[in-house]
Amino acid sequence: MDLQTLWFAAVAVLWTGFLLLEGFDFGVAALLPVIGRRPADRHLMLRSIGPLWDGNEVWLITAAGAVFAAFPGWYATWLPALYLPFVLVLFGLIIRAVAFEWRHSHHTEQWDSTWTNVIVTGSLIAALGVGAALGGTTLGLPIDGDGIRVGGAFAGVTWSALLGGVAVLAYSMVHGAVFLALKTEGPVRLAARAFARRWSLVAAVPLLAWAGLVQLREGTAVTAVLWLVAALAVLVAWASIRVDREGPAFSAWAVVMLASAATIFGAVYPVVVVSSIDPAFDVTIAEASVSDYTLTVMTWAAGIGLPIVLGYQAWTYWVFRKRLTADPETPHADATEEQVRA
């Protein structure tokens, strides 16, 4: 495999990791008004993602950074084509981030509910927006032969972008619900389970449609199989949640994203920005890439750095692995006295 292909794969892995990890914290936030009826439930939901969301968000920063580092031609075509939509995503991410920290820096009911609403709004915008951006670059943006957007400021917001946005949001909501079912105890767990049971089949449709469209246009036999794996995983996830097996449901639902993203990136390869005007204007990895020297440097750095990152991130997930409850006396369902005081 040449370095450009390797880095295309690396970028795809980073985006997938982001969608998978930040997906559940986007989802939990989006579910706050849906299943967090009492304030205590909402606190519980926020606590379940509190220690994790910031580390998850770094996946976005790293994914965008890797696009810039490995394929500046992609970065410099994709971002300006969706200038205002990207700015909107940034807003979502900014208000969401500050709301997570500031919410508990002052204590009144009003303050609390305001920032909780900000978290919901910011997460909705960010999930929709990042999905739209990925939908645009893989399904088509109105760019000309110089990689410049044709049409007005919102020309990039096409049906394909909307599909991507809805796909990521819908996926994330069920993802968040399964995560809550896995992470919490009590009414939130029950409500989350019910939500996942009701919506998992429907929520997978836009994502499968997106992957299916890319597949129909440029797919190979391998990606066709991947798409089928994704579709099958939806059924497994649905069946598991129906019998209240949250662990398998979470794994299967994660496979839905892994296989869908693999279909999308695998099928669109070697194109990084699809032009909706003329396939001849597509930006490919060869045109967008940096030199082999830089890719080699990056490969070494990522080869050493990424396993370490994965290691310590996994460790923090392990540290915060306990189920949470809304009861202040026993915050962790299965925490013993020693563990709390350790």
Partner 1 sequence: MDVLDVARWQFGITTVYHFMMVPLTIGLGILLVVMHTMWVRTDNPEWLRMTRFWGRIYLINFVLGVATGLVQEFQFGLAWSEYSRFVGDVFGSLLALEALLAFFLESTFLGLWIFGWGRIPKKVHLAALWAAVIGSIVSAYFIIAANSWMQHPVGVVTNDATGRPEQVDFLAVLTNNTAIAAFSHTIVGALMVAAALLVGIGLWHLRKRRLAGLSPEDVDHSVWRRSVRIGGFASLIAFVLVAVTGDYQAKLMYQQQPLKMSSAEALCETEAPAPFSVFAFGKLGSNECDDVHSWTVPALLSYLAHGDFETAVPGVNQLQEEYAAAYGATYPDDPSFGDKAGEPIDYTPLLAVTYWNFRLMIGMGMVSAGVAAYALWATRRGRVPTSRIGVYGSLLAVGAPFVANASGWIFTEMGRQPFVVYPNPDVPREEQVYFFTAQAVSPGVSAAEVWTSLIALTLVYGALAVVELWLIVNFVRRGVTTSDGAPTPGHTPDGDPDADVTPGSASTRRADDDDVLSFAY
Q: Quick one: which segment of 17-25, 158-166, 202-210, 309-317 binds partner 1 (CB under 8 A)?
A: 309-317
For residue 198, give Cα distances in angstroms to 75, 156, 237: 38, 33, 12
For residue 137, give Cα distances in angstroms to 81, 116, 203, 220, 261: 10, 32, 22, 19, 13
Q: Which of residues 61-90 bind partner 1 (CB under 8 A)?
A: 61-62, 64-66, 68-70, 72-73, 75-81, 83-84, 86-87, 90
Q: By CB under 8 A, is residue 26 in contact with partner 1? A: no
Q: Quick one: which segment of 183-191, 224-232, 278-286, 300-308 binds partner 1 (CB under 8 A)?
A: 300-308
Q: Which helix (H) or strand (E) segment is 8 a member of? A: helix 3-35
Least Å from the CB of residue 94 to partner 1: 4
Q: Which is nearer to partner 1, 51 or 247 (CB)?
A: 51
Q: Which of residues 273-292 bind partner 1 (CB under 8 A)?
A: 290-291
Q: Are 65 and 131 in contact (CB under 8 A)?
A: no
Per-residue x/- mask for partner 1, residues 118 to 157, rule CB under 8 A?
A: ----------------------------x-xx---x----
Least Å from the CB of residue 108 to partner 1: 9
Place of tokens 């469209």: 213
Q: Are 270 and 8 in contact (CB under 8 A)?
A: yes
Three-class SS state of 271? strand
Q: Which is nearer to partner 1, 19 or 93 (CB)?
A: 93
Q: By CB under 8 A, is residue 305 in contact with partner 1? A: yes
Instruction: Residue 321: name the closest of 176, 179, 178 by CA.
Output: 179
